[in-house]
Structure 1
Amino acid sequence: MNVKIETLPFSPRHPHLKLDVVRPQGPEPPQGWPVIIWLHGGGWRLQSRTARPDFPKHFAAEGFAMVSIDYRLAPAHPHPAQVHDLRQAIRFLRLHHVDLILDPERIGLWGSSAGGHIAAMTALKGDLKYTDAEAVPTDYRDIPTHVSCVMEGYGPARIEQLLPAYMGAETPQDMPVTTPEQDLLGGAATSPESYDHQLKWAAAASPVHQDAAQAPPFLIMHGTDDCMVPPGQSIALHTHLAQAGRQSTLVLIEGFGHGFLNPGEVAELGPNVRLDNGRLEREPRTDFRIAQSPRNRFELRNLAADHEMILRFFALYLR
């Protein structure tokens, strides 16, 4: 499928950030194409908008405009910079929806790993006009950031549980290599007091501690053998959404590890880190377990845990 990729800067305050738009071929719908925004992984520290699935195949060929965005990377830009960037990208797409041939009321999010965390946090704050000392450019201040649905893949949801214990290092030479979660929060704690503050900030940066009363429908996928982000993180997110009375579907894929939404060539965490890249496409009939919140509209009968399931989810809530 031959497609044209349109690359645009979307943040006046951070002009180096860009987004790519891939639109379907064929007659343009009067209201514009429904939109799926992809958020790449990389531990909040690596990668760019180019680390993404095959957009013409997933899902531009099925009538969705696919968008991938850059976001500022940690530790130079700690949380909530990444959420602010996604919120600004949503505002940009809404402001320019006529020129881009997009439907401003049909926007979904699709994120993996760190990108899943950013997608979930943004969706749960979508009813807020401003958030977390957010600096919004003048032309965008009245543009909302809500979305219609979220496909969240193996993202951290309870970050305080993933922080290592404070080791009491006294000098920079003694400090261990920081984890992605520490870098998301600005780096390793340097005192017991700063560690206590970091734990509180980690909770504030976690989807399970956000108000879910207005949450859009979620599809959450996680591998049962994920050693980088334990599946309990996704279970906690699903439980949080279900307890708030929102629509959530949790899919736990037997034996899968981290990174299965990535195509084979994406080195999400660097060239020497092996992940389960491409496995969702290679093994579409793998056993899986599901949990759904009450009154869920997403019908899973006869579906495998694969890209077709993700497509059906977006089709339900965006078409």
Structure 2
Amino acid sequence: MTAQVSRAFLIAALFTTAFSAHAAPCVEPPPDPTNTYDAQHTYDKLVRNYPFIRIASVDLPDGVTKVADQTYVQYGTRCLKLDMYLPATAQAGKAVPVVVFVHGGGWRSGFRSEFVPMAVRLAQRGYAAVTISYRLSGEATYPAAIHDTRAAVRWVREHANQYHLDPQRIVLAGGSAGGQIASLAGVTGHLNQFDPGAANSAVPSSVQAIVNIDGLSDFTSPAARVNEDDPKKNPSAAGMWFGGRYAEKSALWKEASPIQYVRPGMPPILFIDSAQPRFAVGRDDMVARMTDVGAVGRIVLLPDSPHSFWLFDPWVQPTVDATVAFLNEQFQSR
């Protein structure tokens, strides 16, 4: 580890100590036995139809440094944490772009460890990666997860110098519900209504690009509501997040749809999607609208793939390759 990184880690430790001295102590919520959206449980569901899949490795490769359990925002005694995966170039003192990952799980389950396979492979390609935890719908309904995601972006930007991150090249990415959260937090970077922390900080929580992996773009479309507003589900995943069905909370369902915020100058978006079309509802219409206003929207489809493909080989590497190619293109054009 270089002297620069050692100093950075020391600064972070001092910051954490000072933060803890002035804030209420963190109290971890008890484990939720119903939260089973992880690689092993998903593998058990998929392996019969995809016998060739393998759970992607989460091992830390040579040249990649992990900085774990950093508190990025605190509400009372509730602390939300993130992990960072730093490439060798950052450790050598070069400012690198950073991808902030938002995990999936239907807004009510999941763990930040979901994106470790992608994070370490991105770090091997010269990108820093951050995986975040956020408040799930059983703890706090919409828009809490958006607030948390924007807070995580601000924390990354505030700590950019310490960890040699480029504050002008921050990306939000996520899968499934996390893809929708990342998209919404990213396309509303100009709107403080989705960022309560903006009132007390001069540091923006906007991002320069978005990667939406199999996440919805339009909750209001009939195709989305077939699944997300299914009356047989009491409640559905989306209904639980919004605190009501579409008929009861239609304004929120519309407000939470990234497609509503297409505008000139918005961040470019890469959509990476499975062969399961229900999870990409609204994507094509959103890309068409983006094209009309001069924004960049790209689509990469992985044939014969299940939802949650980013947890498994052989799909992790193509997903990383597509992400790196897209981001390199966007950042080199600036």
- Could you tell me the TM-score, scaled by structure 1's length? 0.75
Equivalent residue number for residue 33 of structure 1: 96
Equivalent residue number for residue 121 of structure 2: 58
Equivalent residue number for residue 301 of structure 1: none
Alpha-carbon deviations, 1:65-105, whole Å to 9, x = none?
Answer: 11011111014312111111111111111112122221111
Asked if 1 retains the 8 angstrom alpha-carbon contact of 2:105 and 2:177, the reply is: yes
**Aligned-partner Cα distance in 2 for 1:166–1:27:** 47
Asked if 2 retains the 8 angstrom alpha-carbon contact of 1:226 and 1:258, the reply is: no
Q: After superposition, where does 1:269-288 map in structure 2 within 5 Å?
A: 278-281=313-316
**Aligned-partner Cα distance in 1 for 2:308–2:286:** 18
Asked whether 1:152 is paired with 2:187, we answer no
- Judged with a 3 Å threshold, the aligned counterparts in structure 2 of structure 1 residues 76 and 236 are, in CA distance, closer, same or farther, namely farther
Work out the percentage of aligned pairs sharing the same amino acid.
24
Q: After superposition, where does 1:122-271 map in structure 2 within 5 Å?
A: 122-128=185-191, 130-132=192-194, 134-136=195-197, 140-161=200-221, 162-163=224-225, 176-186=233-243, 188-189=244-245, 195-227=246-278, 229=279, 231-263=280-312
**Aligned-partner Cα distance in 2 for 1:216–1:137:** 19
**Aligned-partner Cα distance in 2 for 1:244–1:197:** 32
**Structure 1 residue 10: deviation in Å?**
0.3
**Aligned-partner Cα distance in 2 for 1:16–1:4:** 23
Equivalent residue number for residue 168 of structure 2: 105
Alpha-carbon deviations, 1:20-65, whole Å to 9, x = none?
Answer: 0110124646552211111111111111211114256421011111
- Structure 2, unaligned runs of 5 or more: 1-60
**Aligned-partner Cα distance in 2 for 1:248–1:210:** 13
From 141, 146, 153, the counterpart of 1:90: 153
Higher share in helix = 2
Equivalent residue number for residue 4 of structure 1: 65
Asked whether 1:48 is paired with 2:111, we answer yes
Alpha-carbon deviations, 1:165-186, whole Å to 9, x = none?
Answer: 685xxxxxxx843211111202
CA RMSD of aligned residues (A): 2.5
Asked if 2 retains the 8 angstrom alpha-carbon contact of 1:127 and 1:214, the reply is: no
Give the 3-state SS of the residue equivalent to 1:317 in structure 2: helix
**Aligned-partner Cα distance in 1 for 2:72–2:120:** 25
**Structure 1 residue 108: deviation in Å?**
1.1
Asked whether 1:311 is paired with 2:324, we answer yes
**Aligned-partner Cα distance in 2 for 1:144–1:92:** 10
- Judged with a 3 Å threshold, the aligned counterparts in structure 2 of structure 1 residues 223 and 56 are, in CA distance, closer, same or farther, namely closer
**Aligned-partner Cα distance in 2 for 1:246–1:150:** 12
